[in-house]
Amino acid sequence: MSRSASVVIVSPALADANNGNWRTARRWQELLSGHCRVRITKEWPDADAADDTAMLALHARRSAAPIAAWAQARPGRGLAVVLTGTDLYQDIQADAAAQRSLELAQRLVVLQERGVEALPARHRAKARVVYQSAPALPPLARPDDLLRAVMVGHLRQAKTPQTLFEAARLLRERPDIRITHIGDASVEAALGEQAQATADACPAYRWLGGVPHDQTVRHIREAHVLVHTSALEGGAHVILEAVRCGTPVLASRVPGNVGMLGPDYAGYFPHGDAAALARLLLACRQGQQAENPRDRLLEHLGAQCALRAPLFDAGAERQALLNLLQELETAP
């Protein structure tokens, strides 16, 4: 792509929110900074709009107004819409603004390989997969006499934390299976009350609330396994962070998770099935003590995750973005 290109990333949240949209926008700005000019904004057009040659708009529904404004100002060129989990598995089925964003874009970006399947058939040719990335970090010391599990994610219905609460209660007689839960309940306080009740009833479960990112990563590196219970996902960043830290994942079998970990991954449980999650945690713990290699589930999951880890490398993400921008320069 041309170094004279000026890319605007539209994010519905900026630095003050410090959420997933902002972190994606900021990381993409850093990855592309040596190749073109990149800025981040919430509204478009703005005072610097005249120089923009391409737009990467995060979220089809929430960024619908800037997307429509770009399409009016620069019809048929330079527009890519990046689709979140709520876009793919909720909004584009019913929301007219999100559907209009699909129509206007020259390219649609999904963050995991199964995302393309969620699009209307007529739009799939416009779709490109851009896996997000995280640094490769070595795991930290993990004890052999217990299993450490961690779940990371703010307490919201879409994340289905109730599955973890129920699994913790099913395992309450197993002090050798320790569960740490990270995520605040500022959006849905009732879920925080459920988390605290679970902690009161289950000594091996602890809820830490919101934790700074560096501490969260440390918890992931110290855990034997990450648990991810979501109902829908566009491409969960915490999954790839775990994979890049050498921490296997137990995940709900929903398209967004399968698109990250692959269809043959052995660590899935049916969404909302706490008993199945508890069985997997037990199998991981029992596998730590198994003599037969075929019974060592954690090792098997770790090997499968290691095969996926290169997908989540920063160099791969940068190249995918550069390829996308090159297509936007030349797309009819």
H or E segment to which residue 317 belongs? helix 314-330
Evaluate if residue 39 carries a pLDDT over 90: yes
Nearest-angstrom CA–CA distance, 286 and 278 = 12
Residue 75, C-beta contacts closer than 8 angstroms, at least 6 positions apart? none
At 18, is the pLDDT very low, low, confident or very high (cuts 50, 70, 90)? low
Q: Which two tokens stand for residue 290?
A: 């198994």
Across the range 14-42, mean pLDDT stands at 88
Separation in Å, CA 205 to CA 13, 38, 149, 194, 195: 32, 44, 9, 12, 9
Its domain, for residue 74, covers 6-132+313-330
pLDDT given at position 223: 98
The amino acid sitting at 115 is: G
* Residue 63, pLDDT above cutoff 70: yes
Question: What pLDDT, on a 0 to 100 scale, did the predictor assign at position 332?
Answer: 62
User: In this structure, are strands 6-10 and 54-58 parallel, antiparallel, or unpaired?
Assistant: parallel
Summary mean pLDDT of the chain = 95
Residues 51 and 173 in one domain: no
* Residue range 299-312: mean pLDDT, rounded: 98
pLDDT attached to residue 330: 84
The stretch 242-260 carries a mean pLDDT of 97
Q: State residue 21's pLDDT score.
A: 82
Looking at the fold, whether 69 and 156 belong to one and the same domain comes out as no
Q: Return the pLDDT at 147.
A: 98
Q: Are residues 162 and 285 in the same domain?
A: yes
Does residue 138 form part of some domain? no
Q: Which residues pair with 151 in a beta bridge?
A: 181, 227
Structural domains of the chain, count: 2
- Closest C-alpha among 210, 216, 281, 271 to residue 248: 281
pLDDT band at 15 (very low <50, low <70, confident <90, very high): low
294 in any annotated domain: yes
CATH number where 101 lies: 3.40.50.2000
Same domain, 164 and 273: yes
Whether 114 and 160 map to the same domain: the answer is no
Please check whether residue 140 lies inside any domain of the structure.
no
For 240-250, what is the mean pLDDT? 98
Same domain, 297 and 218: yes
pLDDT at 225 over 80: yes
Given this model, what pLDDT does residue 19 score? 72
Q: Any idea which of 22-26, 61-65, 166-170, 273-277 has the lowest mean pLDDT?
A: 22-26
Say if 139 falls within a structural domain.
Answer: no
Q: Does residue 17 carry a pLDDT above 70?
A: no
Is 105 within the bounds of a domain?
Answer: yes
Task: Note whether 325 and 280 are same-domain residues.
Answer: no
Q: Is residue 197 part of a domain?
A: yes
Residue 19 or residue 132, greater confidence: 132
pLDDT above 90 for 228 = yes
Mean pLDDT of 273-290: 96
Average pLDDT, integer, range 235-252: 97
Q: Are residues 69 and 204 in the same domain?
A: no
The per-residue pLDDT for 51 is 93
Specify if 103 maps to a domain.
yes
Please give the average per-residue pLDDT across 97-106, as a whole number: 98
- pLDDT over threshold 80, residue 315: yes
**pLDDT of residue 172 exceeding 80:** yes
CA distance 50 to 54: 11
Q: Is the confidence at residue 3, as pLDDT, over 70?
A: no
Same domain for 166 and 124: no
pLDDT given for residue 290 in this prediction:
80
Say if 177 falls within a structural domain: yes
Specify whether 72 is located in the same domain as 189: no
Sequence-distant (6+) residues with CB within 8 A of 81 are 57, 60, 63, 67, 101, 102, 104, 105, 107, 108, 109
Same domain, 171 and 295: yes
Say if residue 90 is in the same domain as residue 224.
no
